Structure 1
């Protein structure tokens, strides 16, 4: 089997997973939409695609870190909504923005600590945190509204050094994630820990001297902070706090990561694959909106896609 075919099929030996096939899907969707509706190639629609996709790209990148461990974080959607609610409290930006990241780090630490110290399954631990955050968010902001700091709004609109701000957000996000995943020992440890989990030997990395618990906690902290970053972007875009803006973001992010070739059982995946998966989801959402597909049908389609992608992934045991 050639190297290209292994990448297309996600065959054994490719740590990056199946990412070329999703890239072809992106091109096929773009071609299909350009033929089906003239609105897709409209300049205004193309300019809106990047800011529409950016929150999902940021969230999916963070989600990828915990999925590489064989974990999952269902609290990222509530984290996004919570971030917008905090930013809309009307306080100074110099206090609110750092507070958002500190709170996100605490949430991520709590998720990781509960999972590693009390052996609670990641789905249960993060689902519980999802409801906790959702309740706090609705106390802070029962309905959408509030005042977002001007610096947050200006950081989303306009341009920087001639680069549109949404594109700049993407560049910074990918640069940080690339450094963490491929330019540090931490990234190597993630793949090692995930390899043990996917093989059914969860303490394999620990037996080789890797601080698995510390790295797992750190992965959940990173995931929560990326979700907070997506929340800041959305707060600047909608210019308000909204308790519902993060609704179902966790499922979209998981689907994007899975489409991009990352194995939900852990150890296999890539940053570029995750970005491609997020683009697939963004193009599908944009196309369904342009063709007036009901939001309820859109949710059904997304759920079916997630089920299909997970079912096609190879697993040695029941579970993720």
Structure 2
């Protein structure tokens, strides 16, 4: 019998998954960078690291809600780009910001309906939506530019009481996502649905009175709205709309969620694990930038990491 501390380290017997190992990896990367590069521990770089990590943290948390039910959402990158394009249209903030989230909710609802009602595989459904949304985005904003509302820019840049504003973004997102995942039946239902799918008993949650289709649809809506929130953050950061700013965000988010211990088969995962996974990705990106590594090599490294973390999960449970 394995000691209890070893089971904790391996994430066995817990629906939170293996998140302790990624935490040690993140600490090791941070320690290594602080010892090998002088810039890493500078105030400017740490501020930049927080700002760079925040869109991925937000997107990965949204992606986690879908992965918990055994799904995937490949349209989040396009939703991010669409959000920046809408915010850069030059209209009033009280119109553009609600429009961003209404459209994101609509996109998520369509994804959920296609998956639940038409029985289309999540990868195919959301990949199709990715191209549809990307096309609309490039019609609205063929190249980067436009005028972003001042309130969006002000909410991202600067500090409050000496603390960078992105930190407050992170606190707000964590509180909201914790409420959804642990402070409401919605999160419990997601774990139940995903656990049944992972174990090969797709209808077990339904047999216990869980409205599967409604909760799956809401998971996709939640994921899309979190992507829109990441788009708002990015629009304030780059001060423009950009049809390409969300490129590959979907793969980075999936990688972050998988690194954080969430099983792609569904039913196992945690909020803190997802945040840790996103921080690992951000630290790796920051370290590669500090060492002037080629962007093409960085993309290769990210792809290799995704292949590794997915390969370590049981293929029988994934159903992909």
Normalising by structure 2, we get a TM-score of 0.98
1:264 corresponding residue in structure 2? 264
Is the partner of 1:40 in helix, strand or coil?
coil
Aligned 8 A contact 1:199 1:316 in 2: no
Residues 1-320 of structure 1 aligned to structure 2 (within 5 Å): 1-11=2-12, 13-160=13-160, 163-317=163-317, 319-320=319-320
Deviations 1:221-266 (A, max 9, x none): 0000000000000000000000000000000000000000000000
For 1:242 and 1:182, the matched residues in 2 are separated by: 35
Shift of 1:161: 5.5
SS of match in other structure, 2:305: helix
* Whole-Å separation in 2 of the counterparts to 1:196 and 1:159: 45
TM-superposed CA distance for 1:8, in Å, is 2.3
CA contact (8 A) 1:259 1:277 kept: yes
Larger deviation, residues 195-204 vs 114-123: 195-204
Q: How many residues align?
A: 319
Shift of 1:315: 4.1
Q: Distance in 1 between matches of 2:74 and 2:319?
A: 16
Say if 1:217 and 1:290 are closer, same or farther in 2 by CA, change over 3 A.
same
TM-score after normalising by structure 1:
0.98
2:47 and 2:164 in contact (8 A); partners too: no
Whether the 8 Å CA contact 1:7–1:19 is kept in 2: the answer is no
The answer to whether the Cα contact below 8 Å between 1:111 and 1:220 also exists between their aligned partners in 2 is yes
Distance 1:266 1:134 in 2: 28
Structure 1: stretches of 5+ with no match in the other structure:
none
Shift of 1:206: 0.8
Q: Distance in 1 between matches of 2:42 and 2:160?
A: 24
Relative distance call for 1:317 and 1:269 in structure 2 (3 A) is: closer
Determine if contact 1:7/1:17 at 8 Å carries over to the other structure: no
Q: Distance in 2 between matches of 1:191 and 1:65?
A: 9
3-state secondary structure, aligned to 1:209: coil
RMSD: 1.1
- Contact kept? 1:89, 1:148, Cα under 8 Å: yes
Q: Is the 8 A contact 2:264 2:318 kept in 1?
A: no
Of residues 94-103 and 32-41 in structure 1, the stretch that sits farther from structure 2 once superposed is: 32-41
Unaligned runs of 5+ in 2: none
